[in-house]
Structure 1
Amino acid sequence: MVYDYFDKYTFLCDMYDEETDDTAELVLNFFPFDNSVQAINPAKGKNLLRRVQLPSLTLQMLQIGNIVNVFSKLLLITDCAPATRRTLFNQVESTFAMIKPIHPSAHGKIITYIMKKGFRIVRMKNGKISKDFAMELYKDIGGSNMLPIIIDYVTSGEVIGLELVGPKAVSKFRSCLGATDPQDAAPGTLRQLYGENKLKNVAHGCNNLQDAATALDMFFGLENGIPRVPFRATLKDCTCCIIKPHVLNDGNVGAILEQIATSGKFYISAMAMFSVKISNAEEFYEVYKGVLPEYEAMAIQLAEGKCIALELKATDPSINLVCEFRKLCGPRDPELCRQLYPESIRAQYGKTIVQNAVHCTDLPEDGENEVEYFFKLLAND
């Protein structure tokens, strides 16, 4: 698409100011012609930032609910102008998708497939669903002889729930799934690629917006302040991995999950997507304060978008879990990784010493504490 110099997209944002302990409402204008931005404080009627190029900010990052980094200021996008909505978010919907109990080695491939189809994943976690939840998901086949078998299967093991956002997301994801029987599914659909049979057919998708809204609330919602589908973290004999926000923007989440699952040494016992406040990011990284010159940049990077926290366990309890997983990740500097450990996670998906794909626990005694920080402290925040 060819843009004019004066073409712009307008967003409403909240910016938290730590000095005043207050939130300011801003207008952010994005000019796609030269990838430049302008920030205005409408309450004071003045420019906070004159139009200036910001190569790190892309149009794909400007989504309602996202946090963007504008010259080290974190802005939460809360809304957009009507003209921007008509252009960028026409017919955008949310739907619920559930990866059924399948071998973890396929999880990464399926998530990569979903992201390549243009869906944004805005919520994600693994869990086990109740029979009541399963009955709600499959209420449309209430008279089928298959229903008890399906209910038993989807409640028999771990599932991964996803909130997917995109144009006509409900019907589009149904199309991506393919026919119920993988043998009848169109080539290139999820069920044709990864399904075994009509029962073990990879994933579930919703039929309409109302069903999607109900399923999203049942899977990600709270009841009396407690998640309806509990987090899977055990907080024991584990290490922590945080997949950083830039990895989600780059579409590499599935590849990293696949590399972990097929390593033969580790398995993911818990995963969930989080939005991290800058104060929480600073607290989480506090051990590096005054030690690493990148401390502040690391905290900002972790808070500038959604991240995915993983609790990892060893397939062989006798190995040093923290040390072995650090080997899979590689050194902090991706450039060094590419020279010495080209197959490591950071070598393949890291960009800089700050945007280095993943955080992993440094010391064996810190694994449980770091997992607890996300799955206990932030989960209840």
Structure 2
Amino acid sequence: MDTRTGEGCRFAFNVRWLDPNTHLIWHYQLFYYTHDQSIEMFDIKNQRIFLKRVSHPEIHLEHLYLGASISLYSRQLIIESYGDEFSRKHLQGFQETTFALIKPDGIKNMGRIIDLIFSNGFLIKELRMCKLSVEDARNFYKIHSGKPFYEALTQFMASGLCVAMDLVAENAVRRWRTLLGPTNSQDARDRDPNSIRALFGTDSTQNACHGSDSLESAKQESDFFFRDRNFGSCARLENCTLCIIKPHLVFDGVAGQVIDLVLKKFDVTAMEMVTFSQPNAAEFYEIYKGVLPDFHAMVHELASGPFIAMEISNKDGQGNPVSSFREFCGPPDSQACRIVRPNTLRAKYGINKIKNGVHCTDLPEDGVLECKFIFKHSFNPFVDAMEYTNHNLR
């Protein structure tokens, strides 16, 4: 048994499920066996086996961290805590959470930065694009109040959009700060030319990204951005369309590549990582119910894990981008897409009609409606309120 890699181990997690019909919360113990990727569940209240051990290769150990949402046989389970001391002891260090912030100067390169995050072994637990006011920026950086650079820093942070993220990895705080490189971007280019600040920063203020310096700071900074899901809302909700980077691409760690391609032709004016319950996904896709034979499969895929939603606008901010962005994404069937439209997003990143990489708005009149559904958080508030306590689960 190798506890470092998880080979031959059984890990236990305490999870909850909110029944969308009765609004009752059920608590289970979820067991995960690494050698054959099998799972079983125990009903804590009734003290009995709820799900007999069964192979489930779609679930991987790295996605079983505190606060994670996993879809299991149409149930959206939230991992609340470790289920035993063995699991806590052997997983806690490998599932550390830190806070990361892409600054306004880094937004134009956020796709490449997010790709570096994934390729360096991090998972993204939370993500939201925000627009800070000067007061917000001063509150966030209040620890630096009175220092010579404070006023310039806070003015800069309020000058444009930023992207807040919670990152999960082994020794996440140290590893993220190492990936960032020295605070001064010129020093970073001299000492660590492959670091994020060397690649994308300008100086010690416009240095592309911020990283927490401790676990305590990471918790405080994460709460600042994620405790209120409407904090720093930046969605325009006009002249826009919706793109969803589907869960299978987020799991595969290629979401940053998609974002980078989108930014070459369009502006991303709002962005958020979202997890849908099955009812949320069915509500979002309601227009396709009874129309597309794959409706239920589409719902299952969208609710299978976190996805990244983006409000897309034309570069000049004018006109309706729905049709041009739909052309950019390509036909729904990725297999056919690779033949007839090989340079589109779905041809490059999709697998089939269900796991086709991205969702895009179909009708010109629905672009704003779909963006409002996501960015005004119009989906079932009771289910959603339970799922969005994740940032407090450390």
TM-score, structure 1 normalization: 0.89
Residue identity opposite 1:355 in structure 2: K
Q: Return the alpha-carbon distance in structure 2 between the equivalents of residues 104 and 91 of structure 1.
A: 29
Do 1:331 and 1:346's aligned partners in 2 also have CA atoms closer than 8 Å? yes
Choose from 123, 132, 136 the match for 1:133.
136
Separation in 2, partners of 1:241, 1:347: 16
Unaligned runs of 5+ in 1: none
Q: Are residues 1:369 and 2:394 paired?
A: no
Out of 139, 151, 154, the residue aligned to residue 151 of structure 1 is: 154
CA contact (8 A) 2:183 2:197 kept: yes
Q: Is the 8 A contact 1:133 1:218 kept in 2?
A: no
2:179 is the alignment partner of 1:176: yes
- Structure 2 matches for 1:101-250, cutoff 5 A? 101-102=104-105, 104-185=107-188, 186-222=192-228, 227=230, 229-250=231-252
Structure 2: which 5+ residue stretches go unaligned?
382-394
Question: Could you tell me which residue of structure 2 aligns to residue 270 of structure 1?
Answer: 270
Q: 1:318–1:274: structure 2 CA closer, same or farther, 3 Å change rule?
A: closer
* Greater CA drift, 333-342 or 105-114: 333-342
In 2, Cα distance between equivalents of 1:242 and 1:10: 32
The amino acid that maps onto 1:235 is L
> Cα deviations across residues 117-152 of structure 1 (Å, max 9, x unaligned)?
222222211122233333344445445433322222
| Residues 346-361 of structure 1: pairs in structure 2 closer than 5 A | 346-361=346-361
Contact kept, 8 Å, 1:127 with 1:160, in 2: the verdict is yes
Residue aligning to 1:309? 309
Which amino acid in the other structure matches residue 247 of structure 2? P
Q: Report the CA distance shift for 1:21/1:201 in structure 2 as closer, same or farther (over 3 A).
A: closer
Kindly indicate whether the alpha-carbon contact (under 8 Å) linking 1:243 and 1:253 is maintained by their aligned counterparts in 2. Answer: yes
- Residue 48 of structure 1 is matched in structure 2 by 50
CA distance in 2, matches of 1:230, 1:379: 19
Determine the structure 1 residue equivalent to 2:91.
Answer: 88
Q: Secondary structure at the match of 2:184?
A: coil
Aligned to 1:90, what secondary structure does the other structure show?
A: helix
Equivalent position SS for 2:376: helix
Residue number in structure 2 paired with 1:294: 294
Cα distance change, pair 47–221 in 1 and its aligned pair in 2 (3 A): closer
8 Å Cα contact 1:96-1:213 kept in structure 2? yes
Percentage of identical aligned residues: 35
User: Which one-letter code corresponds to 1:178 in the other structure?
Assistant: G
Q: Which amino acid aligns with 1:116?
A: S
- In structure 1, give the amino acid aligned to 2:124: I
How far 1:13 moved relative to its partner?
2.0
1:5 deviation in Å?
9.2
Aligned letter for 2:183?
A: T
Q: Number of matched residues?
A: 375
The worse-fitting range, judged by mean Cα deviation, of 172-181 and 35-44 is 35-44
Structure 1 residues 209, 52: CA separation in 2 closer, same or farther (over 3 Å shift)? Answer: closer
Deviations 1:264-309 (A, max 9, x none): xx21111112222221211110111111122122222222222222
Q: 1:199 to 1:315 in 2, by over 3 A?
A: same
How far apart are residue 380 of structure 1 and its match?
A: 9.3
Q: Tell whether the 8 Å contact from 1:17 to 1:23 is kept in structure 2 after alignment.
A: yes
Q: How far did 1:25 drift?
A: 1.9
Deviations 1:232-272 (A, max 9, x none): 11211111111222221111111111010012xx2111111
Query: What one-letter code is carried by the residue in structure 2 that aligns with 1:291?
Result: V
* Separation (CA, whole Å) in 1 of partners of 2:217 and 2:57: 40
Runs of 4+ in 1 over 6 A off after TM superposition: 3-6
Is the contact made by 1:125 and 1:231 (CA closer than 8 Å) also made in structure 2?
Answer: no
Query: Counterparts of 1:318 and 1:147 in 2: how far apart (Å)?
Result: 36
1:365 corresponds to which letter in structure 2?
Answer: E
Distance 1:293 1:323, change over 3 A: same
Relative to structure 1, is the Cα distance of residues 127 and 7 closer, same or farther in structure 2, using a 3 angstrom cutoff? closer
What TM-score, normalized by structure 2, do the two folds share?
0.87
Residues 73-124 of structure 1 show CA distances to partners (whole Å, capped at 9, x for unaligned) of 3322222222112112226433222111126431100111122222222221
Aligned 8 A contact 1:5 1:34 in 2: no
**Letter in structure 2 aligned against 1:189:** S
Q: For 1:173-228, what per-residue CA distance to the aligned partner results, in whole angstroms no more than 9, with x for missing partners?
A: 22221111222122321111211222321111222233323322222233xxx83x
Q: Which moved more, 1:331-340 or 1:206-215?
A: 206-215
The answer on whether the counterparts of 1:123 and 1:163 sit within 8 Å (CA) in structure 2 is: yes
Does structure 2 conserve the Cα–Cα contact (< 8 Å) formed by 1:275 and 1:306?
yes
Deviation at 1:317, TM superposition (A): 6.5
Instruction: Give the CA deviation at 1:17.
Output: 4.1
Give, as a single letter, the amino acid of the residue that structure 2 aligns with 1:191: R
Describe the shift of the 1:352–1:41 C-alpha distance in structure 2 as closer, same or farther (beyond 3 A).
Answer: farther
Say which SS state the counterpart of residue 207 (structure 2) adopts. Answer: coil
Indicate conservation of the 8 Å contact 2:11/2:31, yes or no.
yes
CA separation of 1:138 and 1:49: change in aligned 2, threshold 3 A? closer
CA distance in 2, matches of 1:213, 1:355: 34
Q: 1: CA distance between counterparts of 2:201 and 2:22?
A: 54
Alpha carbons of 1:16 and 1:293: their partners in 2 closer, same or farther (altered >3 Å)? farther
Alignment counterpart, residue 255 of structure 1, candidates 247, 250, 257: 257
